């Protein structure tokens, strides 16, 4: 549903206030979007601490770029989510690049890559096996979406097209699956 001209004016005024550093407008922006951004970050980052750090970094970026917001080009929620997504993608790329650099350093120094690679460490293999057991216990659609998205590298749109299932259903299945996996990991950790 497109934003009304009145909504656009309210959003523009809010972002102009944020650009000027108005504490009340910054607080309103945070109250309005922090939980949404946190959920997005928590789905892609490995733990709560990193997700919380990401939220703070994203709000700093929102504050710094607030003057560039144009309500005629995108609704505020769209703009916030695009900026959040860009930040998270950049963060994941930097993490992967640093992992590759560490592997390259080991090769250059003659380290035994096969023995030191995370996937070949016994504790990592055990964690992976436990995760796969938790995934296997998910309902069929959730299991399929998680497997295709995270292990096969497919986009949610591709999965929806292949399964002939609406994108919203695929997104919901992934979200529910991630919640179940986190809960099961937490519960297994308590009983270990």
Domain count along the chain = 2
Q: Which residue has the higher pLDDT, 186 or 8?
A: 8
What pTM value is reported for the model?
0.51
pLDDT per residue over 26-50, tens digit each? 999 999 999 999 998 888 888 888 8
**Residue 137 belongs to domain with CATH number:** 1.10.10.10
- Does 9 share its domain with 84? yes
Cβ pair 142, 173 in contact under 8 A: yes
Is the pLDDT reported for residue 109 higher than 80? Answer: no
DSSP assignments along 60-115, one per residue: HHHHHHGGG--TTTS-HHHHHHHHHHHHHHHHHHHHHHHHHHHHHHHHHHT--HHH
Question: Does 131 lie in the same domain as 85?
Answer: no
Instruction: Tell whether 17 and 73 lie within a shared domain.
Output: yes
Structural domain containing residue 128 = 121-191
Residues 6+ apart with CB under 8 A from 130: 188
Q: Percent of the chain at pLDDT above 90?
A: 32
């Amino acid at each position: 549903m497109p934003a009304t001209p009145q909504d656009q004016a309210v959003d523009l005024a809010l972002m102009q206030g944020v650009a000027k550093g108005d504490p009340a407008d910054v607080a309103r922006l945070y109250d309005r979007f922090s939980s949404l951004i946190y959920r997005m970050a928590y789905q892609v980052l490995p733990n709560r601490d990193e997700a919380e750090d990401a939220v703070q970094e994203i709000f700093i970026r929102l504050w710094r770029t607030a003057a560039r917001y144009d309500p005629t080009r995108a609704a505020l929620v769209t703009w916030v989510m695009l900026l959040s997504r860009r930040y998270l993608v950049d963060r994941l790329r930097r993490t992967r690049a640093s992992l590759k650099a560490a592997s390259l350093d080991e090769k250059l120094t003659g380290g035994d890559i096969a023995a030191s690679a995370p996937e070949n460490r016994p504790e990592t293999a055990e964690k992976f096996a436990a995760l796969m057991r938790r995934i296997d216990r998910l309902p069929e659609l959730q299991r399929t979406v998680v497997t295709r998205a995270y292990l096969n590298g497919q986009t949610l749109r591709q999965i929806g097209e292949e399964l002939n299932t609406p994108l919203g259903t695929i997104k919901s299945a992934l979200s529910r699956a991630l919640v179940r996996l986190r809960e099961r990991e937490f519960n297994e950790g308590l009983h270990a």
